[in-house]
Amino acid sequence: MRSYTQFYIDGQWTAPITPRTAEVINPATEEVSGEISLGSPADVDKAVAAARRAFASYSETSVKDRLDLLEAIQAEYIRREAELGEAIMVEMGAPTALANGFHTLLGKGHLGTAIEVLRAFKFEEQRGPTMIRKEPIGVCGLITPWNWPMNQTCVKIFPALAAGCTMILKPPQLAPYSAQILAEMIHAAGVPAGVFNMIQGQGSVIGAALSKHEDVDMISFTGSEPVGVQITKDAADTVKRVGLELGGKSAWIVLDDASLPANVAGATAGMMGNSGQTCSAGSRLLVPASRMDEVKKIAAEAANGVTVGDPAGNFAMGPVVSKSQYNIIQQYIEKGTAEGAELVAGGPGRPEGLDKGWYVKPTVFVGTNDMVIAREEIFGPVLVIIGYDDLDHAVAIANDSNFGLGGYVSGEDVDTCRAVSRRMRTGAIWVNGGFDFNAPFGGYKRSGNGREWGELGFHEYLEVKSVVGW
């Protein structure tokens, strides 16, 4: 049993002002895996005051000082990476190979990228008579979700530290352990007191207190659209900057010259990765309508081939994060059938032989873009395949969404792939795969307004000052 009942405030492990704990449930077993403390607004006041005091000196540190700090954290991260992987497996049910692979790698990648970017970053640039200075925005509130816990935490903390900001992290209640270990690493690396603070607890209490706080200059939030809207409203009275990274319903367009076996199977298996709990997942697969029969066969085979089971074992997919997430996904699967979508693989209930744990069947529907299952983010292993008549139709379907986070294009002809990628109204597009820690990540439309990852991620945490007559 894990017990993490202290917060990290002003360089010290600190008991909450009002003691209160909550159980953390392992989604693979439905059993209690440990406990955390739930903070109160008084804890937030204490952490914000510490961050404000620390900002005076930390914002004046040299790039060399900040590089030294980030490199010390990097050494700690590498030393304790396996502990992080284990924590992620227990807290959100990621299979061990994924938890110890891509999950921890993403955090390490953002840290390494922040170091590289900081080495070359121009905080001052003269244009004519004016010096344009990029200065740290101040005290930041960082509010993160559970689905890729290290990715979302590290993509905020390290650019903020690199920029010279101080911060308070509010990790998700559902996946609180990896953030706790990360805070221990940051402490061990010698972060100056008050620069980094962490309070566990409820979003509606800790997250709201940060969003409304007079002395917090900026909120960076990753999570659902309704919470993003609430945070924006809460932050409005104090006119603070709010960076939002929200949900998605991303389209994957398979062009008619693309290999169907490779791309349809890849897109289907990709959708099931991390149990479908990925904001930029290609959850709408757009294929030539004339080849739908072939597509259905390939997708069904790929979905049925995804092994599901105990995250500690050798399975491709673990459970989803919680009972409530399981129930929401089941409702969407029922809704899909009720609204006339054709079920090609999976369906309601748990996979055979799994009676305990929040396991969902890898599910594939063929439907139309007006169906609820094609419009709302399900955040589970459910793929909707939609047929298109021609390229214009494919692009129109892709763009007919409230969201605009990710997008995928598979095809042989590079010029067509590029033309389609230009027409898609979405923040990031992957053409025939690929991966880049420096590619800015963020949404159009209701997928948010921020840009994280790489150099652009630094700008979230910087103010711009013009000094005319330099």
| H/E segment holding residue 3 | strand 2-4
| H/E segment holding residue 9 | strand 7-9
Q: Which is nearer to ligand NDP, 173 or 399 (CB)?
A: 173
Q: Which stretch binds ligand NDP (CB under 6 A): 51-59, 199-207, 249-257, 293-301?
A: 199-207
Using rule CB under 6 A, residue 405 touches ligand NDP: yes
Name residue 245's amino acid. Answer: E
Using rule CB under 6 A, residue 377 touches ligand NDP: yes
Using rule CB under 6 A, residue 222 touches ligand NDP: yes
Structure tokens at 307: 């092994």
Structure tokens at 371: 């169906």
Nearest approach in angstroms of CB 248 to ligand NDP is 6
Using rule CB under 6 A, residue 26 touches ligand NDP: no
Using rule CB under 6 A, residue 281 touches ligand NDP: no
**Closest to 384 (Cα-Cα) out of 400, 403, 371, 402:** 371
Using rule CB under 6 A, residue 147 touches ligand NDP: yes
Task: Give the whole-angstrom CA distance, residue 295 versus residue 285.
Answer: 10
Using rule CB under 6 A, residue 146 touches ligand NDP: yes
Task: Give the whole-angstrom CA distance, residue 148 versus residue 453.
Answer: 14
Per DSSP, 458 falls in state H
Task: Give the whole-angstrom CA distance, residue 376 versus residue 73.
Answer: 39
Using rule CB under 6 A, residue 106 touches ligand NDP: no
Residues 6+ apart with CB under 8 A from 271: 281, 282, 283, 285, 381, 382, 383
Using rule CB under 6 A, residue 202 touches ligand NDP: yes
Told to judge if 81 belongs to the known catalytic residues of this protein, a careful annotator would answer no
Question: One of 245, 377, 452, 460 is an active-site residue; which one?
Answer: 245
Per DSSP, 239 falls in state T
Q: Is the dihedral of CA 61, 64, 65, 71 positive or negative?
A: positive
Told to judge if 91 belongs to the known catalytic residues of this protein, a careful annotator would answer no
Using rule CB under 6 A, residue 326 touches ligand NDP: no
Using rule CB under 6 A, residue 118 touches ligand NDP: no
Q: Which stretch binds ligand NDP (CB under 6 A): 24-32, 116-124, 196-204, 462-470?
A: 196-204
Using rule CB under 6 A, residue 211 touches ligand NDP: yes
Using rule CB under 6 A, residue 426 touches ligand NDP: no
- Kindly tell me which residue out of 55, 158, 177, 379 binds ligand NDP, with binding defined by CB under 6 A: 379
Name residue 292's amino acid. Answer: M
**Closest to 452 (Cα-Cα) out of 217, 213, 158:** 158
CA dihedral (398, 399, 404, 407) in degrees, to 10, reads 30
**Closest to 344 (Cα-Cα) out of 397, 287, 391, 399:** 287
Nearest approach in angstroms of CB 67 to ligand NDP is 26
Nearest approach in angstroms of CB 9 to ligand NDP is 18
Residues that bind ligand NDP (CB under 6 A): 143-148, 152, 170, 172-173, 202-204, 207-208, 211, 222-224, 227, 230-231, 245-248, 279, 377, 379, 405, 443, 447-448
Query: Which residues belong to the active site?
Result: 245, 279
